[in-house]
Structure 1
Amino acid sequence: MIEPRDPLIVRDGRPFNNTPGARAYTQSFPPPSVLAGVIRSQTAYASKLQFTRNSDDNRQQGNKLQPIQIYGPLLFKLPNPNKEKDEPEFLCHAPADALLFEPEAKTKAQESDNQQSPPTRPWLCRLVPIQVPERFVCDFNELGLVGLVKADPRKPAKDQPQFWYWEHFLHWLQDPEGLINKTNPQASNPKTIAVGDLGIKGLPIDQRTHVQIDSESQSAEDGRLFQTRGLSFTQTNEQQLAEARRLALYVHADYRDTTGLTIPQPSIAPLGGERRLAHWAKTDQSLPACDQVIVDAIVKANACRVILLTPAMFSEGYRPTWLFQDPQGVQPTLAAIAIKRAQVISGWDLAIHKPKPTRRLAPAGTVLFLKFAEKENSAAIEAWVRNYWMQCISDEEQDRRDGFGLAVFGTWDGEFAEIKGETK
């Protein structure tokens, strides 16, 4: 469990130098490579491995650290001691097949009679694979299209939660329609869920202005100002400070394939840019196990959804290949995909002292709709689901070791829905 003491800076690709007025921007969430690098660095320090300017020696040292398997990072809510029954809980990136719409606008009569007007909260809708109508022309015929079954004139909600609490995320995996009913204010006697209860908007951005200090006079140099932006892991309530929520990063590191390495002990260690400090501690918390309800539904439907909890690296961009080539007794096929804009990352190669190539990732929250062959038996499908639950599914082995492509499974009936209403 890693709890940043200071705002965490995870630099994006924009340049940051000693030019007056320079700004250091941060990504919205640290990618797995950041945590993989810092865990291996702390392991190298604990194991007393030396890195020099000799690239061959560095590669040998790096080969000892690369087999460390990383799972995560996942956002984690720590319990608030000021609140009773405040349990710790995982948070996951919002799934790409879920969409929140703004509430319907009130009429003038409703505005004048607030007591009888229905509650105005964004509604949760589901994006599903849809059957292409006749005479439909598209420049993407490789996979099925994913969208709304029925047209909705409302606009997507502005304040959509970037992270969902595991309780609601698990409900979305098991029964999306059931969760939708709980967010519909017009349902009969619903146990409604407000948007703020689904999750959190994201990590707050902490912006700071710094000055450059002259080493001789120990005073600020004129015009030498720069800014940094970091991720704050404390969700504050301005009206009630006791309601503040402490957040942390959960990472599971597996050392079983390594030899001669010393596991670092809990401590205060730097993380991210500017060597900001974070508290490291071992935890008994484990990754959530696969629910039997999900397995049974997948076996019955002979289809499933694969949801990415961390960004994944696929050799063909958005399409995974290793997941379908790995022989596990079943042969799934990709039917459709719900995906957002690609996430771009790079890094620093410690062995050759040069930047790593820039790569495009399928972002966390991506949903893959899979079908199994009709001849597959239920026992093989169940074993396949349990084998890949909370495992990394990126194409390259080292990318999987670095934590890219951590995935879970959800239910899907395997059918392409028909569009309701008139199509032109």
Structure 2
Amino acid sequence: MNHDYLIEALAPLVFRSGKPFGAQAGADGAAFPLPSSLAGLLRTLHADQYQLRFSSELRQIATAGPLLARRGSDGNIVPLLPKPADALYLRQEGSIQVIRLSPGQLPPDTGCDLRPDLLPVRMSVRIDGKPAPGPQYWPFASLQSWSAGAPVAFETLRTQGLGALPAEERTHVALDDETLSADEGRLFQTGGIDLAAPRQLGGWQEHDLVFLARSDTRLNQTLATFGGERRISRLHPSPASHWPRPPDGLEAGIRAQGGLRLTLVTPGIFSGGHLPGWLDARTLGGSPPGCPDLVVTLKAVAVERWLPVSGWDLATQKPRAMRKAVAAGAVYWFELQNEPPPGLVETLWLQPVSDHVQDRLDGFGLALPASWNPTS
């Protein structure tokens, strides 16, 4: 049984990606928490509330998230999901448009180093413009419409989405190991995510930002330290209605069009870099985790830069090796090779599609399914 939670930050939260940090390297900026950070939080609270000792059994608790959301003063929750990699912001004649990138054949007399069985991802319309900055987090309704093939207005994303994570930087002084006093001339900074309601001219905004999470363990409301430097957050049990739900008719649309589109809303970890290990390396065919009766063939991929993933192993008391993850927002297009089994959407909806069981239990690779027409 799934249990839903809302995490309210009571101070700017600090998360790190695994990049080196020291005298010759700067600290991370305001990084979004990895799924493994949430998994560690919920499993620690589970052990504390149920008076359990830390053991490998805790790693079997499944978690999903975190997902960013905007909370209004009336309690209304709007999930904000990462910008899909097949959306491009282009400025033309003073306005910014959202251009779709779609799988398609290259024009005659052109080529690329992409493997021949994968389609290149190209602009759906030709437009003379320059890349422009834009919202990095989209409201769930806009992402759902985009995934279904509908256009999305930039103004809608600007007013209802989020340009970037609100950040706060703090400057610290290093301590001398022998005297434990300030080491003159040695300063460093840490960047945190400030999710509290931002102050504006004329007062406070009528919303703040929170995290949504889901797990198969039941937890009570409590205070917790989420992220580094022991910053405090509050965990609330949350109604299931806050978690994004699939639209009506999605499964029928996938069957009718014969194609499946998966958009990652949390980073995914695959043995083939951007290619899932559950696909045959030669044919690019296979079955997504949890769907052994569904056979698909990968036709195209849109990905951003890879994301470093690391952490601390409590069992061995050692740092984990850094791995490269596919960043959230990546889009995968598949062609169906057989009739989808009943309950396909329920099986795939915001479920992890990473290769390894433990990464899926940790919530890496949550995917948002949508229909896609391979012949279009």
In 2, the alpha carbon distance for the partners of 1:385 and 1:282 equals 25
Q: Per-residue displacement from partner, 1:137-158 (whole Å, max 9, x unpaired)?
A: 2211241100113432211112
Deviation at 1:43, TM superposition (A): 1.9
1:97 aligns with 2:86: yes
Q: What pairs with 1:167-316 in structure 2 (closer than 5 Å)?
A: 167-177=141-151, 179=152, 182=153, 193-211=155-173, 222-234=184-196, 236=198, 238-255=200-217, 263-286=218-241, 287-316=243-272
Q: Per-residue displacement from partner, 1:336-366 (whole Å, max 9, x unpaired)?
A: 0111111111111111111111111111111
Q: What pairs with 1:1-40 in structure 2 (closer than 5 Å)?
A: 1-16=6-21, 24-40=27-43
Partner of residue 138 from structure 2, selected from 159, 164, 185: 164
In 2, the alpha carbon distance for the partners of 1:26 and 1:307 equals 25
Counterpart residue identity of residue 62, structure 1: S
Counterpart residue identity of residue 290, structure 1: P
SS in 2 for 1:127: strand
Percent of aligned positions with the same letter in both sequences? 33
2:31/2:192 contact within 8 Å kept: no
Match of 1:387 in 2: 347
Deviation at 1:62, TM superposition (A): 2.9
2:19/2:308 contact within 8 Å kept: no
2:99/2:125 contact within 8 Å kept: no
In 2, the alpha carbon distance for the partners of 1:296 and 1:198 equals 29
2:276/2:355 contact within 8 Å kept: yes
Match of 2:326 in 1: 362
> What is the CA RMSD across the aligned residues, in angstroms?
2.6
Higher helix share: 1
SS in 2 for 1:90: strand
Deviation at 1:243, TM superposition (A): 2.2
2:354/2:360 contact within 8 Å kept: yes
Give TM-score scaled by structure 2 length: 0.87
1:76/1:247 contact within 8 Å kept: yes
Counterpart residue identity of residue 357, structure 1: A
In 2, the alpha carbon distance for the partners of 1:125 and 1:293 equals 26
In 2, the alpha carbon distance for the partners of 1:351 and 1:232 equals 31
In 1, the alpha carbon distance for the partners of 2:62 and 2:202 equals 41
Question: Could you say if the C-alpha distance between residues 23 and 129 of structure 1 is closer, same or farther in structure 2, counting changes exceeding 3 Å?
Answer: closer
Higher strand share: 2
Partner of residue 125 from structure 1, selected from 99, 102, 127: 99
Q: Which moved more, 1:141-150 or 1:342-351?
A: 141-150
Question: Could you say if the C-alpha distance between residues 46 and 122 of structure 1 is closer, same or farther in structure 2, counting changes exceeding 3 Å?
Answer: same
Match of 1:108 in 2: none
Counterpart residue identity of residue 126, structure 1: R
1:237/1:244 contact within 8 Å kept: no
Deviation at 1:288, TM superposition (A): 2.2
SS in 1 for 2:204: helix
In 1, the alpha carbon distance for the partners of 2:202 and 2:122 equals 40
Counterpart residue identity of residue 348, structure 2: Y
Q: Which runs of 4+ in 1 moved over 4 A?
A: 212-221
1:173/1:294 contact within 8 Å kept: no
5+ long unaligned stretches in structure 2: 1-5, 280-285
How many matched pairs?
361
